[in-house]
A and B are shown apart, each in its own frame.
Chain A
């Protein structure tokens, strides 16, 4: 696993639920057939009301119309990111669109588990109100070993909460890789 994640920030508010991350009407697509998988990238975060997408300015879509990938790889949000349904299609769609990490004040439980156990995106928490300190388009650099994120556009450094217990699952790349590593997969 790489130690540095660097990319442009996409900033959102609080309580971004799974219907905003991937609206239910798109859940019909396969998560394994490549020609359908790309649809998850196209519609990632398409349920966010336009004025609330790409803060503080707003009206910035995560994925441009007609495209399948985002130019933003780090999502910055307020509390309770990923609340709502259990659909794993949500962190999956963010990954397909090109997101590598999320930095939020807190997460809903199922979404957090899905990010970690599915190995899709790294769900960082921070005590900072980072979504008010970072602007969409700012260049961010996450140092995984140091648990920090640097805003290269403003030369400011913030602390991330350590991943704790789940770091070993994140590092392995998901619960299956982890379970094999730890010999937890024996049936029965």
Chain B
């Protein structure tokens, strides 16, 4: 029987040759990811259900990356970090990345890639909806809640319904003004925020495979905004080169069979697409930037697992070099590594950090920060009737803080161009 890449990976994890869409199967989990918001309640459930002295099924396979509420004075948030630390010590977890130490990384989905935890063919569950990001590495990654995560902690297993797959093919050569963010916002506008519920979103085509890993991660990151269980891109030479630069662990590459069954197929030519935004208050509320050009904004925000990677800042720097922002603009590197890279990477003779500072942006320390609002003292949190153009992933009411604020989701190019004018601006005006 011919299978999609997602079916093949789940079959491997279920010790089967074939699994069919719609079947419930028990999977052996390769990595469980958790962070400071969902880790403490997950550990509580684990202890309650498996006993106060229970040990996790495999300490090597548990990755704990605090990233949500890090740079805040909120004492409950600090308490949650203490609880992570305590559990990591009790369980002797080698993959805990403590706040305030040289091991601290930042946003978990980007750090997983940087630290070599993303391996083609493997199964990752995480207590965060954007765990689907890792699917860019030809692996299965999906989000779960605390109870399911506690179950995995004790048993190393979880049931999942094998998803049907939707295939999204992008043909053509990527124009300079177009980014992975524009591609995924295009899709979301077509299928809606529940268009892929309980399904896999598989990305294919010349344009997708021309993208660097970090751009591919933007595509798979937002599969959840279409309701997708996972987003996935088969591994190729680019993936292998990235993975091999991080780890020597073994992996297995799977590809969809030519005759595999899909729920639906969508095909786009990237030369015909334009920069787009998702207007308030939903990621599927798509409009071309040109059609909303001139809409006044009060803030620009470039950060998060979706839009705070080095590749995102390379794009923003191209637009901001030698210019001044017209509205407060937050640069929030996803991880410590990205923050250091801003200081080393140069564009036309200046480091990215210098470009952003000279343009009048404020650079924050790496964490999830205002992508999800966070405690009241979070950098970049929206207030009152803010209108924000943001490289983040979600714009439901209140997502970035104030429930009276409006958020336009956009590419780093569009967010940077709009920062310069104080109005939504098509990046083609500056390229």
CA distance A28 to B154 in the complex (A): 24
B275-304, CB < 8 A from A: 282
A171 within 8 A of B: no
A79-101, CB < 8 A from B: 79-80, 83-89, 91
Q: For chain B, what secondary structure do more than half of its interface residues adopt (helix, strand, loop), or is it mixed? A: loop
Contact B193 A28 (CB under 8 A): no
B239 within 8 A of A: no
Which residues on the B side are within 8 Å of A83 (C-beta)?
A: 193-194, 227, 396
Which residues on the A side are within 8 Å of B177 (C-beta)?
A: none
Contact A109 B146 (CB under 8 A): no
Which residues on the A side are within 8 Å of B6 (C-beta)?
A: none
A152 within 8 A of B: no
B147 within 8 A of A: yes
**Which of A28, A80, A118 is close to B227, meaning CB atoms less than 8 Å apart?**
A80
CA distance A117 to B126 in the complex (A): 16
Contact A80 B193 (CB under 8 A): yes
Mask of B95-127 contacts with A, CB within 8 angstroms, 1/0: 000000000000000000000000000000011
B186 within 8 A of A: no
Contact A47 B398 (CB under 8 A): yes
Name which residue of chain A comes closest to B42, CB basis: A88
What would 15 A/B residue contacts be, using CB atoms closer than 8 Å? A17-B394, A19-B396, A19-B398, A24-B37, A28-B69, A28-B79, A28-B80, A83-B193, A85-B128, A86-B38, A86-B127, A88-B145, A117-B145, A117-B147, A174-B147
Which residues on the B side are within 8 Å of A31 (C-beta)?
A: 40-41, 44, 146
Mask of B361-397 contacts with A, CB within 8 angstroms, 1/0: 0000000000011111000000000000000001011
Contact A25 B376 (CB under 8 A): yes
Contact B397 A49 (CB under 8 A): yes
A103 within 8 A of B: no
What total of chain A residues lie within 8 Å of the partner, measured CB to CB? 46
Name which residue of chain A comes closest to B195, CB basis: A80
Contact A87 B403 (CB under 8 A): no
Contact B57 A113 (CB under 8 A): no
CA distance A165 to B198 in the complex (A): 15
**Which of A85, A109, A187 is close to B372, meaning CB atoms less than 8 Å apart?**
A85
Contact B396 A17 (CB under 8 A): yes
Contact B146 A25 (CB under 8 A): no
Give B405 Cβ to nearest chain A Cβ, in Å: 11
A22-50, CB < 8 A from B: 23-25, 27-32, 36, 47-49
B352 within 8 A of A: no
Which residues on the B side are within 8 Å of A127 (C-beta)?
A: none
Contact A32 B44 (CB under 8 A): yes
Contact B227 A47 (CB under 8 A): no
Contact A27 B146 (CB under 8 A): no
B77 within 8 A of A: yes
Contact A25 B129 (CB under 8 A): no
Name which residue of chain B comes closest to A114, CB basis: B145
Contact A15 B398 (CB under 8 A): no
Supplied contacts A24-B37, A28-B77, 17 more A-B pairs, CB within 8 Å: A20-B396, A25-B375, A30-B41, A80-B194, A85-B129, A85-B372, A86-B127, A86-B128, A86-B131, A87-B145, A88-B145, A110-B144, A117-B145, A117-B151, A176-B147, A179-B151, A187-B154
Question: Which of A28, A83, A91, A174 has the largest count of B CB atoms less than 10 A from its CB?
Answer: A28
A74 within 8 A of B: no
CA distance A91 to B146 in the complex (A): 11
Contact A28 B372 (CB under 8 A): no
**Which of A17, A88, A107 is close to B146, meaning CB atoms less than 8 Å apart?**
A88
Give B45 Cβ to nearest chain A Cβ, in Å: 8
B24 within 8 A of A: yes
B15 within 8 A of A: no
Name which residue of chain B comes closest to A115, CB basis: B145
Which residues on the A side are within 8 Å of B10 (C-beta)?
A: none
Contact A88 B147 (CB under 8 A): yes
B49 within 8 A of A: yes
Give A123 Cβ to nearest chain B Cβ, in Å: 13
CA distance A79 to B37 in the complex (A): 27
Which residues on the B side are within 8 Å of A23 (C-beta)?
A: 373, 398, 403
Contact flag A28-B375 (CB < 8 Å), given A15-B282, A109-B198, A175-B151:
yes
B40-66, CB < 8 A from A: 40-41, 44, 49, 57
Give A89 Cβ to nearest chain B Cβ, in Å: 8
**Which of B79, B147, B156, B194 is close to A108, meaning CB atoms less than 8 Å apart?**
B194
